Chains A and B, each alone.
Chain A
Amino acid sequence: MTSELPLPIQTAWLIPLYGFAGMLVSLPWACGAFRRDAHRPAAYLNILLTLVAFAHGSLILQQVIQFGPADLSFPWLNVADLELNISFSLSLTNLVALELITGLSLLSQVYSLGYMDKEWALARFFALLGFFEGAMSGVVLSDSLFQSYFLLEMLTLSTYLLVGFWYAQPLVVTAARDAFLTKRVGDVLLLMGVVALCAYSGVMGFNDLYAWAAQDSLSPLAATLLSLGLIAGPTGKCAQFPMHLWLDEAMEGPNPASILRNSVVVTCGAIVLLKVMPILQLSPIAIGVMLVIGSISAIGGSLVALAQVDIKRTLSYSTTAQLGLVFIAIALQIPVLALLLLFTHAVSKALLSMSIGGVIASTNCQDITELGGLGSRMPATTTAFLVGGAGLVGFLPLGGFLALAQSIELLSVRSVPYMAIFLLTNALTALGLVRVFRHVFMGSSLIKSRRAAEVNWQMALPMVALSVIVLITPLMLLRLESLEGLLAFPLWAAALVVSSGLVGLVVGALLPLSKAWSRSLNPLLRWWQDLLAYDFYTERFYRLTIVNVVASFSRLAYWFDRKVVDGLLNGVARFSLSSADSLKLSVSGQSQSYVLTVLVAIVLFLTSVSWFLT
């Protein structure tokens, strides 16, 4: 059957390998094999490989649109009753996600050439980007839960290494560690779910799992625990409460990587969640948990974003919020909606991230209260922010609007409260973006933005390109047949979306801005301000709870080790050698005591054995 498939589809397994190959070809430069030359060839090679991955993906996409989806599977490990395959599902959805990933990866790599143009360790950076891209491509194409887990963990590793890229910077040291550990908590819980599913069902392919889940042979408790485990991984990857901390920490890393993290990494997590969705249906509790997580993330994330002064963090919390909406859509079992939201969010958020990268590059500043007046000077950056923002909130007629209008329509027949959450999140997102825009691009220029020219062309070009893509997203969505009926929403839904955006816009425009980032004098307001600025004190909460518990137990274990176990051992040693100084015997004396111990022990043991047996 495989031989009948067209060549691009047959070789689809190459796609994740392009990224990994990019890492490998960068190694000579990263390891310092070329002492006299700059490390740029590694960057060019990675860009080339990503381009190949993108082109290959487009070929497959075309053929899949023409001939329908295909599956590829190769045996990997067969031990006892365990059968693990490398398998790819070349469905339309997966391929669109793949193109999104490789396309955004390509743009952000070109962007990196500009943003990181004064970076010496360029080869290592691009090697990590290649690794990152390879893992993400593999995740979206994966047709097996094991493979998805495998690659998600690689994603965790590459996030750690990318956040830790500037390893000499003090805050990076802790940020990389915390980012890894927060994600790792989700991963370990996911591993528990994967292992349990594997053990109880004996299969790992998604379709086999669906078939198994449909038989519904698990106890409700087991099903709930299993589902919670499966949710935990994507919760971590999508930066949802309470595992959203890593995205904030990850903002210490280089901005081009943040572009990908804010857009496609979270998308990968959500796509894995979509793939396990039929299994989650076994447990109503798990569905409920997802709804709660999604709602808290959507509202909480939007609110926290409002109180941030760091330009990167205003965006990262809004990512948490938008992915919260996706969680709700998945929990309510509207996959089309989840995909729509993911796609429009990914392109718009990537564009916004590029734009703020431009701001940082030309002002050396991430504090929005220290910026201002950039709007009239930076055409590409400003346009990118405006277009990205418009694409994200329900601005007529861009992607975000279509996705939200569709959501409102679909939610209105299922659950009105969640419809309200969508509208509220949209309003808060609009408010937050207007706030940032006013701070950064409008007003008079402050000292750090007094002299700020537009960014270099390697950064401007991807921004312009992606701006165009965001603008034509509605057309692209309309072309995808699987999403037909995109415009079949009633007028009132459109009106609700637009008015929620307008409310945010107007409030944001009217709200007084305080340039001196000071805490409010009103104690109640100040309490709220601090609560949100410090992200509901999540970090402190973790430090007081989990970190504290682990640290106490580890101290306890070590104390027990030295005092009780070692103490006992030393005591026994003293007793058996009947010398208080036994442990400091001379080397010659030791062999004698050794023989003695051996003899005594054998006699003792044989006596006890005979006593037992008679």
Chain B
Amino acid sequence: MLLSLLLLIPLLGALGLVLWPGAPSSERLREISIVVLAVQTVASFALLLPFDAADSALQLVEQARWVHVIGLDYALAVDGLSLPLVLMNGVLCLVAAIASRKIENRPRIYFALLLVISAAVNGAFLAQNLLLFFLFYELELIPLWMLIAIWGGANRSYAATKFLIVTAVSGVLILAAFLGLAFVTGSIDFSLRPVLAGEMGMTAQFVLMGALLIGFGIKIPLFPFHTWLPDAHTEASTPVSVLLAGVLLKLGTYGLLRFCMGLFPDAWQLASPWLAAWAAISVLYGSLAAIAQTDMKRMVAYSSVGHMGYVLLAAAAATPLGLMGALFQMVSHALISGVLFLMVGVVYVRTGTRDLNVLRGLLNPQRGLPLTGSLMIVGVMASAGLPGMAGFISEFLIFRGTLQPFPIATLLSMVGSGLTAVYFLLLVNRAFFGRLAIAPGEVVNPRILDRVALREQVPAIALSLGVLVLGLAPWLLSDLSEAATTGLSLINGDLS
């Protein structure tokens, strides 16, 4: 019942928002959705109580017949892979709601969509039926598209359309693969069973896995399917960017691990050298493209392309350690990109620009945004994989887990990790160091920037603390998921 609650709470919350009597103010709607999401987050953390970390099997299974005739059944369960992602979804949706200040344009729909996304993502992480997964996967798509198309920036129409078309193709490929699975096996049982693939030939496995790979590759996103992401981020508002980077991209990597790897282990292992190469290219490409950016937000967006590439690398190796690293990377990337997008958002709202050729000296203690700058430094250092923060643990686990099977790809990815420092240092040093100056040509005083209240920074501070806690006490996460990632791995841990 607990798992269904995770879907019901936000969905009922969304319904409640739509039906709320009178004309509640944007602030009131925000408060309601914060409460709803807080309850949902607490409920998801409550999963930790009944959850047995030592058990690699699915737990808290909930099943019910639904549209059984087409194989769509209601089946939810949680394991060590999905549990941290559900927790992460709760936290980041809450952060996004808190960051959604001053939504003047149709706030009721905005917050309702936010809650629907939260429910859909929970559903996707928990679904144990392929069609049910697809349903939730698509359910998250339309609200996000609307969030960009309606509440986005000036060029939102282009970005939203691009997002819609590209991710629709992703959905189509995934659905087609799932249907193809039924087509090939001749069964309409869509429950998630790894044995499925054993019943078909290698060619069919490759075709179906390829479809899933591209489908999820678009979502992750991997080179060359990534260009929708920077556009979507630049046009999306800050909370939507936090959701997009923190939660929605993880659906792609989750699908990669759960479905591509989990359903087609034989094909996956055969393809793994190519996948590792793909991962390395994606990492390097994302990092290099990020260096060329002058828009802070685009830079952070491209960094996601690079950092999600590590997950593919780990999945390709499919060692227990690598998969733990992959999960760690998903969680830490969510936290870190949350901090980065929130801070970019603060700077954008205060200065009206994200252009690194214009911004200077924002660390100025009284006229600038010193706390924002400090949190930004924490964020970029975590992203660059500095020890003591979550990003380092995930990178170390991944690299350690993939070096033996794919030494070259791993070393190239490490170069990519080094490049992260390059572009993020450019960002920090340009925008935050130096003398405060906002508009070129100013002579007397720069225009006074609006103050940033401490409570506005609370979400980012909380996420930063999370980054530090996971970096110093990584066992908090690894103990939770070790059984599951080991169970998922295709390769015995003892290689040497």
Which residue from A80, A157, A584 sits with its C-beta under 8 Å from B319?
A80
Cα distance A184–B166 in the bound complex, in angstroms: 37
Chain A binder among B15-23, B92-100, B155-163: B155-163
**Least CB distance, A169 to chain B, in whole angstroms:** 8
Which residue from B164, B173, B321, B482 sits with its C-beta under 8 Å from A605?
B173
Is B153 in the interface zone, CB < 8 Å from A?
no
Which residue from A167, A585, A613 sits with its C-beta under 8 Å from B434?
A167
**Residues in B whose Cβ lies below 8 Å from that of A167:** 361, 363, 432-434
Cα distance A583–B227 in the bound complex, in angstroms: 15
Is A170 in the interface zone, CB < 8 Å from B?
yes
Is B247 in the interface zone, CB < 8 Å from A?
no
Chain B binder among A109-117, A339-347, A547-555: A547-555
Q: Check B493 against A80 for contact (C-beta < 8 Å).
A: yes
Is A172 in the interface zone, CB < 8 Å from B?
yes
For residue B165, which residue of chain A has the nearest CB? A573
Bitwise, A552-565 to B at CB < 8 A (1) or not (0) is 01111110010001
Given A188-B418, A550-B419, A553-B288, decide whether A597 and B433 contact each other with a Cβ distance below 8 A: no
Cα distance A82–B494 in the bound complex, in angstroms: 10
**Least CB distance, A187 to chain B, in whole angstroms:** 8
Is A150 in the interface zone, CB < 8 Å from B?
yes
**Residues in A whose Cβ lies below 8 Å from that of B434:** 167-168, 170, 173
**Least CB distance, B113 to chain A, in whole angstroms:** 14
For residue B410, which residue of chain A has the nearest CB? A195
Q: Check A613 against B184 for contact (C-beta < 8 Å).
A: yes
**Residues in B whose Cβ lies below 8 Å from that of A558:** 288-289, 292-293
Q: Check B496 against A177 for contact (C-beta < 8 Å).
A: no
Which residue from A121, A202, A569 sits with its C-beta under 8 Å from B162?
A569
Which residue from B179, B386, B403, B421 sits with its C-beta under 8 Å from A195?
B403
Q: How many A-B residue pairs have CB under 8 A?
A: 201
Chain A: interface residue total (CB-CB under 8 A):
73
What range describes how many residues of B lie at the interface? 35 or more
Cα distance A199–B493 in the bound complex, in angstroms: 11
Q: Check A602 against B381 for contact (C-beta < 8 Å).
A: no
**Residues in A whose Cβ lies below 8 Å from that of B197:** none
**Least CB distance, B49 to chain A, in whole angstroms:** 23
For residue B231, which residue of chain A has the nearest CB? A566
Is A327 in the interface zone, CB < 8 Å from B?
no
Which residue from B386, B393, B496 sits with its C-beta under 8 Å from A200?
B496
Within 8 A of B (CB), among A166-212: 167-168, 170, 172-174, 176-177, 180-181, 184-185, 188, 191-192, 195-196, 198-200, 202
Which residue from A181, A192, A200, A582 sits with its C-beta under 8 Å from B425?
A181
Which residue from A177, A184, A601 sits with its C-beta under 8 Å from B426?
A177
Is B171 in the interface zone, CB < 8 Å from A?
yes
**Least CB distance, A195 to chain B, in whole angstroms:** 5
Which residue from B161, B293, B403, B429 sits with its C-beta under 8 Å from A199?
B403
Cα distance A366–B434 in the bound complex, in angstroms: 22
Which residue from A173, A185, A553 sits with its C-beta under 8 Å from B433?
A173
Is B475 in the interface zone, CB < 8 Å from A?
yes
For residue B204, which residue of chain A has the nearest CB? A613
Cα distance A161–B493 in the bound complex, in angstroms: 39
**Least CB distance, B376 to chain A, in whole angstroms:** 13
Cα distance A391–B329 in the bound complex, in angstroms: 50
Q: Check B417 against A79 for contact (C-beta < 8 Å).
A: no
Is B37 in the interface zone, CB < 8 Å from A?
no
Which residue from A31, A80, A606, A612 sits with its C-beta under 8 Å from B179?
A606
Q: Check B172 against A590 for contact (C-beta < 8 Å).
A: no
Q: Check A569 against B425 for contact (C-beta < 8 Å).
A: no
Cα distance A202–B175 in the bound complex, in angstroms: 42
The interface centre, meaning the residue of B184, B320, B384, B399 with most chain A CB atoms within 10 A of its CB, is: B399
Is A215 in the interface zone, CB < 8 Å from B?
no
Is B478 in the interface zone, CB < 8 Å from A?
yes
Given A167-B363, A167-B434, A176-B433, decide whether A191 and B414 contact each other with a Cβ distance below 8 A: yes
Q: Check B387 against A149 for contact (C-beta < 8 Å).
A: yes
**Least CB distance, A546 to chain B, in whole angstroms:** 10
Q: Check B168 against A594 for contact (C-beta < 8 Å).
A: yes
The interface centre, meaning the residue of B290, B418, B485 with most chain A CB atoms within 10 A of its CB, is: B418
Is B120 in the interface zone, CB < 8 Å from A?
no
For residue B324, which residue of chain A has the nearest CB? A79
**Least CB distance, A44 to chain B, in whole angstroms:** 22
Is A66 in the interface zone, CB < 8 Å from B?
no
Which residue from B149, B180, B319, B475 sits with its C-beta under 8 Å from A587?
B149
**Residues in B whose Cβ lies below 8 Å from that of A198:** 400
Is A219 in the interface zone, CB < 8 Å from B?
no
Interchain residue pairs with CB less than 8 A apart (16): A77-B478, A78-B478, A80-B321, A121-B365, A173-B433, A177-B429, A181-B425, A191-B414, A195-B399, A557-B285, A558-B289, A569-B166, A573-B162, A602-B172, A605-B176, A606-B176
Footprint of B on A, CB under 8 Å? 31-32, 76-82, 121, 149-151, 153-154, 156-157, 161, 164, 167-168, 170, 172-174, 176-177, 180-181, 184-185, 188, 191-192, 195-196, 198-200, 202, 550-551, 553-558, 561, 565-566, 569, 573, 576, 582-585, 587, 590, 593-594, 597-598, 601-602, 605-606, 608-610, 612-613
